[in-house]
Amino acid sequence: MMKPVGRIEGGSASPVLGRPVLDPAKAAWNGGMLLAALAFAGPLFSWSALAMFVGSTYALLLVGHSVGMHRLMIHRTFTCSRPLERALIYAGVLVGVAGPFGIIRIHDTRDWAQRQPACHDFFAHTRTLALDLLWQLAYRFEFERAPTLTIESHWADDPWLRFMERSWRLHQLLPAVPFFLIGGWSWVVWGVCLRVFVSTAGHWTITYFCHNPGPGRWRVHDASVQASNLPGLGLLTYGECWHNNHHAFPESARIGLEPGQADPGWWFVRGLERLGLAHEVGRPRPASSREDLDDLGPGRDAV
């Protein structure tokens, strides 16, 4: 299996020294989607728009964000053909959080910081939910000594992904046009503006609670930030809520590892595998290779 796609070289970098600074492009994008939704979603409400919003939001987050960007592109927990790779990642672009390289940068920098003995609250999610959401939706972290991120050539040299990175915001026009033709401005507001904001804010809200109140069964050695599992949210979060499992076994395409831990993202990958479309599907490494973990025993999930 290909080694992880993103690689952080820490060197003399510090995950503590630095500060959140306003990112005008991020603030304008997320703020614009929010303002448009607040202004027009209510007046333009229809039951068909609501149904389309729920279906498109869930499908794109499941197939694009959880499977395409997170399990495939970032962690490389399975392999597949180049056309299927591009299709899954494109669905992730349509979620509207960031471009493919931007997602890698956000994820890998945060993961590196959390696995250090100490890190800034921006990465640890230890402030209030309101402040944390403001930071993640409108700010970037300005390091005093930044780490170096290298994206492997399999992705970095792909002209399609480079194009996606340059133009990812513009691709909301792809769903906007058919939405307008089918349901008018109601579908555009609910299917683009509200969907993008809810997807992005929802992602960071789940991320926040997955790191509060603390560890579940698995504790990663020397990591300043331990993750939680969130019982009862597996179906809603595509399996991403089993974040304690994920911190322990990032190589696994399956995140919901215990009985009762619903994991729709894994069901999708498993379906691809059974169809012969996904290969080298990762599972948790054996007990003999878990020197970096403490097993605190079952029943330690957050409640």
Q: For 103-132, write each residue's pLDDT tens digit.
A: 999 999 999 999 999 999 999 999 999 999
Q: Is residue 298 part of a domain?
A: no
Cβ-based neighbour number of residue 102 at 10 Å = 15
Q: Is residue 299 part of a domain?
A: no
More confident residue, 2 or 254: 254
How much of the chain, in percent, has pLDDT values that exceed 90?
91
Looking up tokens 């940068």 gives 105
Looking up tokens 């992005």 gives 200
Q: What pLDDT, on the 0 to 100 scale, is given for residue 215?
A: 60
**Over 80: is that where the pLDDT of 214 sits?**
no
* Residue ranges making up the domain that contains 90: 6-285
Q: What pLDDT, on the 0 to 100 scale, is given for residue 114?
A: 95
Calculate the average pLDDT of the chain. Answer: 94
Radius of gyration of the chain (CA): 19
Q: Is residue 297 part of a domain?
A: no
The continuous run of DSSP H or E covering 109 comes out as helix 100-114
Structure tokens at 68: 């395409």
Looking up tokens 């050695």 gives 221
240 vs 66: CA distance, rounded Å = 7
Q: Give the chain's length.
A: 303
Q: What pLDDT, on the 0 to 100 scale, is given for residue 1?
A: 37
Structure tokens at 8: 């952080």
- Residues 6 or more apart whose Cβ sits within 8 Å of residue 152: 2, 3, 5, 6, 7
How much of the chain, in percent, has pLDDT values that exceed 70?
95
Buried b (16+ CB within 10 A) or exposed e, 251-280: ebbbbbbeeebbbbbbbbbbebbeeeebee
Which string of DSSP letters, residue by residue, matches 228-268?
A: -B-TT-TTTTTTTTBHHHHHH-TT-S----STT---HHHHH
Number of domains present in the structure of the chain: 1
- Residues 6 or more apart whose Cβ sits within 8 Å of residue 162: 156
Q: What pLDDT, on the 0 to 100 scale, is given for residue 2?
A: 38
Q: Is residue 300 part of a domain?
A: no
- Residues 6 or more apart whose Cβ sits within 8 Å of residue 9: 147, 148, 149, 150
Q: Is residue 99 part of a domain?
A: yes
Q: What pLDDT, on the 0 to 100 scale, is given for residue 8?
A: 85
Q: What's this model's pTM, rounded to 2 decimal places?
A: 0.94
Q: Is residue 301 part of a domain?
A: no
Q: What pLDDT, on the 0 to 100 scale, is given for residue 84?
A: 98
Q: What pLDDT, on the 0 to 100 scale, is given for residue 11?
A: 85
Q: Is residue 292 part of a domain?
A: no
Type of residue at 230: L
The continuous run of DSSP H or E covering 22 comes out as strand 18-22
Q: Is residue 219 part of a domain?
A: yes
279: Cα within 13 Å, side-chain hemisphere: 10
pLDDT bucket at 43, cuts 50 / 70 / 90: very high
The continuous run of DSSP H or E covering 294 comes out as strand 293-295
285 vs 28: CA distance, rounded Å = 42
pLDDT, mean of residues 251-276 = 97
